[in-house]
Amino acid sequence: MAVLSGGLSLERDVSLRSGGRVAEALADRGHSVTRLDLDDRLVPALVNGDDEAVYLALHGKAGEDGTIQGLLDLLGMPYTGPDAVASALAWDKVVAKGVYRRGGVDTPEWVALSIDAIRDMGAVQALDRVIERLGTPVVVKPSHGGAALGVRLVPEASALPAALVAAYSYDDVVLIERFVEGVEVAVSIVGDDVLPPVEIAPRTGPYDFSARYTHGATQFHAPARLPHDTLAACVAMGEAAWRLAGCRHVTRADMIVDGGGRPWLLELDTCPGMTETSLLPMAAAAHGWLFPDLCERVLAEALASAGLRVDAAVTP
């Protein structure tokens, strides 16, 4: 069994933390585990090794955008998580939002602007139309990326250009999204199991990179402290996003529940974090699974897809 983590994205350190926890949990359950990084030794290690499957604990570019998934498909190596097509779709927030909208899933209104449109086509002269369409405040974020890197809340029109410049340092396409005030909720799915929604409550400020990965910076409630019908709507949204993107094995849907109890889908994470402060393990714990149970359950889904089975501990 190979656990793949690391890579060269800005989320490398978080990925290594996720991979370390997964590798330790699977080893404790009796699996023979190999730790691999996303580098030029990867393919030789997989081709010449005896690993039967790959557990993906990657975050960021190349790990979540379909690149590694396509490579593993080429090698005929089973792996955890959605396939290359679903991963690429979810990674592109602009395309994914269009798919969700066409599928009847509520997602905040948005405008996408590429650096080419700004630099070569004079789109900076149309920024006032963005505000006319979306109002303020808006959220500016890179179309490709995770962990809230490059994301800014823009309270007024005058702050939009600076937010765009910052986001373009992460990606060539930027998503400008209508801000929805409310409760942040994450719905994780593992196979046929929809785990309890997790409510996210940063102690101060937004749920940014620091709030995500600094222990104690954010309070989490699993299940979320919301009415039953609202929780049901969140679950239904997570399932719809899974279906529309063509997912399998494991995903996490991130959403905002507004003051009226209506959820709005923000994005789908096809390779959720597995650190001590990550949302998927919290949801699994609320479902009654220990962390090794969760790892084996995800692994079992991948092996089942390939016609194999987990031959160590019995999954819950």
Domain identity same for 162 and 185: no
Of 178, 212, 238, the position where a domain reaches its end is 178
Structural domain includes residue 188: yes
Of 83, 98, 129, the position where a domain reaches its end is 83
Structural domain includes residue 101: no
Asked if pLDDT for residue 208 goes beyond 90, the answer is no
For position 149, what pLDDT does the model report?
Answer: 77
271-297 pLDDT, tens per residue? Answer: 999 999 899 999 999 999 999 999 999
Domain identity same for 172 and 191: no
Structural domain includes residue 212: yes
For position 315, what pLDDT does the model report?
Answer: 44
**For 95-114, what is the mean pLDDT?**
97
Q: What is the CATH number of the domain that holds 201?
A: 3.30.470.20
pLDDT band at 310 (very low <50, low <70, confident <90, very high): low
225-281 pLDDT, tens per residue? Answer: 999 999 999 999 999 999 999 999 999 999 999 999 999 999 999 999 999 989 999
Domain identity same for 173 and 232: no
Domain identity same for 234 and 219: yes
Distant-in-sequence, close-in-space partners of 100: CB < 8 Å, separation ≥ 6: 107, 240, 241, 244, 265
Structural domain includes residue 314: no
C-alpha 63: how far from its chain's center?
A: 11
pTM: 0.92
Residue 228 structure tokens? 């039953």
Residue 219 structure tokens? 């309070």
For position 314, what pLDDT does the model report?
Answer: 41
76-103 pLDDT, tens per residue? Answer: 999 999 999 999 999 999 999 999 999 9
pLDDT, greater one: 124 or 194: 194
164-195 pLDDT, tens per residue? Answer: 999 999 999 999 999 999 999 999 999 999 99
39-51 pLDDT, tens per residue? Answer: 999 999 999 999 9
Domain identity same for 166 and 223: no
Asked if pLDDT for residue 64 goes beyond 80, the answer is yes
Domain identity same for 276 and 237: yes
3-class SS of residue 223 = coil
Structural domain includes residue 219: yes
Of 161, 178, 195, the position where a domain reaches its end is 178
Q: Please give the mean pLDDT across all residues of the chain.
A: 92
Domain identity same for 174 and 202: no
Q: What is the DSSP letter of 93?
A: H
For position 191, what pLDDT does the model report?
Answer: 97
48 membership: H or E segment, kind and range: helix 42-48
For position 159, what pLDDT does the model report?
Answer: 94
pLDDT, greater one: 311 or 103: 103
Q: How far, in Å, CA of 12 to CA of 14, rounded?
A: 6
99 membership: H or E segment, kind and range: helix 93-102
Domain identity same for 222 and 277: yes
Q: How many independent structural domains does the chain possess? A: 3
27 membership: H or E segment, kind and range: helix 12-28
Structural domain includes residue 301: no
Structural domain includes residue 287: yes
3-class SS of residue 222 = coil
Domain carrying residue 248: 180-291
Domain identity same for 282 and 246: yes
pLDDT band at 313 (very low <50, low <70, confident <90, very high): very low
Q: What are phi and psi of 212, to 5 degrees?
A: -75, -40
3-class SS of residue 142 = strand
Q: What is the CATH number of the domain that holds 139?
A: 3.30.1490.20
Q: What percent of the chain has pLDDT over 90?
A: 82
Q: Is the Cβ–Cβ distance between 215 and 276 less than 8 Å?
A: yes
Structural domain includes residue 303: no
13-30 pLDDT, tens per residue? Answer: 999 999 999 999 999 999
Domain identity same for 134 and 219: no
Can you spell out the DSSP letters for 227-291? -HHHHHHHHHHHHHHHHHHT--SEEEEEEEEETTS-EEEEEEESS---STT-HHHHHHHHTT--H
Q: What is the CATH number of the domain that holds 66?
A: 3.40.50.20
For position 216, what pLDDT does the model report?
Answer: 72
Domain identity same for 191 and 234: yes
The residue with tokens 């209506």 is: 262
Q: How far, in Å, CA of 150 to CA of 121, rounded?
A: 23
Domain identity same for 56 and 119: no
Q: How far, in Å, CA of 186 to CA of 183, rounded?
A: 10
Q: How far, in Å, CA of 117 to CA of 192, rounded?
A: 42
Q: How far, in Å, CA of 216 to CA of 142, rounded?
A: 27
